[in-house]
Amino acid sequence: MTQEELAEAVDVTRQTIIALEQGRYNPSLILAYRVTKALMRRYIEDVFVLDEIEMG
Amino acid sequence: MVIAKAEWFKRKNGGFFSHKMPWQGIVYLIITVSVLLTGILISQDLIPNLIVIAAFLFLFTDAMNASLKSMDEREKQHYSIVMTNTAWGMIITMIIISIVLSNFNGIKANLSVLFIITAIVGGVISLVTRHKLERES
């Protein structure tokens, strides 16, 4: 799946997908869920990894 | 959104220099600006001018509303930061210039200077903030 296709599937811009991929933007729970569904993964943790440092 | 639709203002790629807006959005914006320009050029009377200003404000608000609806969550976050910075910048600029003008020539005589400088400062702050945000996230 291309960035363009994923962006269209989850209704965001390609720029937002790029920012997500590069870890420069933390998505809302709804967007994370949509991306997970669009990528046909079962759990959000399969796509997004929470950085221990970010948790504080 | 009364006339304009969110899809008309949805930019394809997003980003700082991306303006790939659908043609409907461009046409809508051209019509909105044309209404204002036509009103200014055609009539100097109060009533027609008021009608034109009301029509412009209606179209402009409608376009802004549709444009906001077309943004994704990241763009909305950026937009709110840009607007906050711009508003604070403009308020501070207005206060400083008002103080300076009141000490020298008076605000009334140079009201246009006050508005022009404030608008320029607002525009610069908006551009710089957007550029910085796009680079960072």
Higher pLDDT, B48 or A26: A26
Could you give the CA distance from residue A11 to residue B106 in angstroms, rounded to a whole number? 52
Amino acid making up residue A10? V
Could you give the CA distance from residue B121 to residue B5 in angstroms, rounded to a whole number? 31
Dihedral over alpha carbons B106, B109, B114, B119 (to 10 degrees): 170
pLDDT digits (tens, 9 = 90+) for B68-106: 888 889 999 999 999 999 999 999 999 999 888 888 767
Check if B79 contacts A (Cβ < 8 Å). Answer: no
Could you give the CA distance from residue B51 to residue A9 in angstroms, rounded to a whole number? 43
pLDDT digits (tens, 9 = 90+) for B29-39: 899 988 888 87
Could you give the CA distance from residue B137 to residue B135 in angstroms, rounded to a whole number? 6
> Residue A18: closest CA among chain B residues belongs to which residue?
B137
Report domain extents, chain B: 1-70, 72-137
Q: How many CA atoms lie within 13 A of B36 on its CB side?
A: 10
Tell me the mean pLDDT in the region B107-135. 89
pLDDT digits (tens, 9 = 90+) for A5-34: 999 899 898 889 999 998 888 899 999 999
Is the pLDDT at B15 greater than 60? The verdict is no
Can you give the pLDDT at residue A31? Answer: 94
Can you give the pLDDT at residue B103? Answer: 81
Can you give the pLDDT at residue A56? Answer: 57
Chain B contacts in chain A segment 1-56 (CB below 8 A): 11-16, 19, 24-25, 27-28, 31
- Chain B residues closer than 8 Å to A27 by CB: 73
Is the pLDDT at A51 greater than 60? The verdict is yes
Token duo for residue B90: 């403009």
Interface confidence (ipTM) of the complex: 0.82
Contact (Cβ atoms closer than 8 angstroms) between residue B10 and residue B1: no
Report domain extents, chain A: 3-45
**Which residues, including other chains, have CB under 8 Å from residue B5's CB and lie 6 or more apart?**
B24, B66
Distance from CA of B80 to the nearest CA of A (A): 16
* pLDDT band, very low/low/confident/very high, at B1 (cuts 50, 70, 90): low
Can you give the pLDDT at residue A53? Answer: 64
